[in-house]
A and B are shown apart, each in its own frame.
Chain A
Amino acid sequence: MRLGFNFWLGAGLTALVIFAGVLAPWIAPFDPVLDADLMSSELPPDATFWFGTDAQGRDVYTRILFGAQISLTVGIVSQVINSIIGVTLGMTAGYWGGWWDDLVNGLTNVMLAIPSLIFALAVMAVLGPGLPSLLVALGLTNWSWTCRIARSSTLSLKSQGYVQAAQTLGYGDLRIMFTQILPNMMGPILVMATLGMGSAVLSEAALSFLGLGIQPPFPSWGSMLTDARQLIQLAPWVAIFPGLAIFLSVLGFNLLGDGLRDSLDPHMRTRSP
């Protein structure tokens, strides 16, 4: 399997985000919350404060490292929830068909018609701000494409001889779905999950920017941008670095997803020798 430059760039950026998030407590030079010092507020980047300091005098570099934890948690957990919901609904709908298929299709269409960020906003408004409700909100609102892909993959895999063979060998429906169909559609599902991680990171930033996500003083890239709003002309680094972090991590997830799709899709393999 040949993986292109984009895949490796995406994998590198994703690895960087994972590295930053996991190692933040050890590599961060300061504490993200407690090391506030109004005497050293809004300092430009220098040797001590690599990315400068914010209005409370906290180190922006430290806060970005810890913000990666939030972004990663949100990206991974919400995509796991999305994939489980989408695959379960899509696979059963494609396999059983009938009224269940109609119901799932209707539900998927409704979900696609509602802008997911607006829906997430509504869920957040009900559950209240904070990381757990953020995970639930983003986990419940983005499964429609995964569901569509799972359903169409199931429809095409269902007619394969080995699925019919499993039926004649006495396998039950659920066993057929989990041993014969699911392993053969993991490729596209994985790609969808990786691409979805990028959009989950963006949604988290947006919700936190609106004050519904991670609550201050804890750092999240989105809430850091909110804090930076008033300082954008005085201390642009307070806005630039969290923005760059969001941009690069989303780019990383998307390139990784694209690269995975190219390498898993046999139709895209024409260039390889």
Chain B
Amino acid sequence: MTPPLLQVDDLHVRFPISGGGLLGKGRRMLHAVNGISFSLAKGECLSIVGESGCGKSTTALSILGLQEPTEGTIRYRGQPLAGPGAPGRMQRAKAVQMVFQDPYASLNPRQSVRSSLAAPLRLHGVTAGSEIEGRIEAMLKNVGLTPEHATRYPHEFSGGQRQRIGIARALILEPEIVVLDEPVSALDVSIRAQIINLLLDLQEKLGLSYLMISHDLSVVEHMSDRVLVMYFGQIVEEGGWRAIFETPAHPYTRRLIAAIPDPNAALSPPAKEDRHTADRPQLAAHSFVSDGSRAPDVFTAPPSSKLVEIALNHKVRLAATLSD
């Protein structure tokens, strides 16, 4: 069996918190990510959703090599991507790239579009001027800009155009995995759909795999094949987007989904049974370790629990004692 494109196993990230006594006595650890495991298949869009501080960005940074994991393994095509035997920045760059949330902070104001796209190509051994020009031109067309835009500087573009440049930069080295960190949340609502459609087109055209970090569930619902729901460093529920959005099992997931504004709610009479309660797998409230209504202590490891498959490819985290 060929290994999956990206395989994350039991990823832990802990940050030391300074404080306590002298000489680092009583130093506490902040448990940011507590044993995340998932895999990403080729051509798939996997979304990680959860509130701020739940560890979703830390997970992404670990995959990008910007944050060293405390424990666990990250494998790309079976080869380690973190820890001992990990590739350097240069090799990693061709595997994983990132599209940033804020298009205003993610482009160097002193670099023209051409130079911010040409520099990585040159760094990775593309030296022929004509090839660089050709690839920049093709990439700008891919993201819906014109070759004439190449000579301009970031301040000459709108937010949506800047995000297109950010996407072009992420794709210029032809990576297989693209991490999308809230790719549209900083954009004007009227631009969001364009960028989402662009991302979906590019995914199909270039065979990309997306790992999307988001708390905007309407975007997640539109783009993802599978969804991971994270809560304080753990996956509390995972499944296909349909399972998560139509039959959410974990109380935290249900609350997230209930919080999506429904534009039809005011127009249509209340349904007898809303979609979030229909066909809900019957699980007693006490079987969950936490229902997400009370913030757990981030300085201690979470109580033992495990992911249990309640339907095909649909898993929910339950207290360890009850699930045995």
Contacts and interface: CB of A to CB of B under 8 A. Distances in A.
Interface string A176-196: 000110011000000000000
Contact of B119 (A160, A167, A179, A183): A179
Contacts of B170: 165
B96 interface: yes
A184 to B, nearest CB: 6
A217 interface: no
Interface SS of A by simple majority: helix
B277 interface: no
A21 to B, nearest CB: 32
Contact of B100 (A161, A169, A183, A184): A161
Contacts of A171: 89, 119-120, 123
B31 interface: no
A158 to B, nearest CB: 11
A164 interface: yes
A172 interface: yes
Given A161-B106, A162-B108, A179-B119, A170 B90 contact: yes
B123 A169 contact: yes
B105 interface: yes
A172 B119 CA distance: 12
A168 B124 CA distance: 12
Interface residues of B, number: 31
Contacts of B120: 169-171
A168 B107 contact: no
28 contacts: A160-B105, A161-B102, A161-B106, A161-B107, A161-B166, A162-B106, A164-B106, A165-B100, A165-B170, A167-B66, A167-B89, A168-B64, A168-B65, A168-B66, A168-B89, A168-B96, A169-B97, A169-B123, A170-B89, A170-B90, A170-B94, A170-B120, A170-B123, A171-B89, A171-B119, A171-B123, A175-B123, A184-B110
Interface residues of A, number: 16
A95 to B, nearest CB: 14
Interface string B92-113: 1110111011100111111100
Contacts of B107: 161-162
B123 A162 contact: no
Interface in B46-74: 64-66
Interface string B160-193: 0000001001100100000000000000000000
Q: Which of A165, A169, A175, A180 has the most CB of B within 10 A?
A: A169
Nearest to A161: B106
A165 B110 contact: no
Interface in B105-146: 105-111, 116, 119-120, 123-124
Contacts of A169: 93, 97, 119-120, 123, 169, 173
